[in-house]
Amino acid sequence: MNEVSPIQAQGRMQQGAVLVDVREAHEYEEVHAQGAALMPLSEFEGNYGTLPRDAEIILVCRSGARSEKAGQFLLDNGYSNVTNLTGGTLAWVQDGLPTGETR
């Protein structure tokens, strides 16, 4: 599976990549990468089919473990352009990139 830094991910989003946050809703509400769609890992298998197959899917969680699991699931189910955001939301915030904080 491909991996990108938060800064690379932000650039790819500007080119049409879809950023999917696989953390749980309460984590997402605390802080999330601006532009990230929420699809918790606990519901991922039931909802992944709504993700586009013609765009890069970049997955993010807190630190990278859950998003890697979700990415492998997508690859196993026919998606080919799947990327994991290295360091997760923690790295996104540390790099000073825009967030969608709701608290």
Q: Which residues are catalytic?
A: 61
Asked whether 29 and 103 are in contact (CB, 8 A), the reply is yes
Q: CA–CA distance from 16 to each of 54, 57, 101 (Å)?
A: 10, 9, 22
Residue 92 token pair: 């996104």
Instruction: Look at the block and give the residue holding tokens 């918790």.
Output: 40
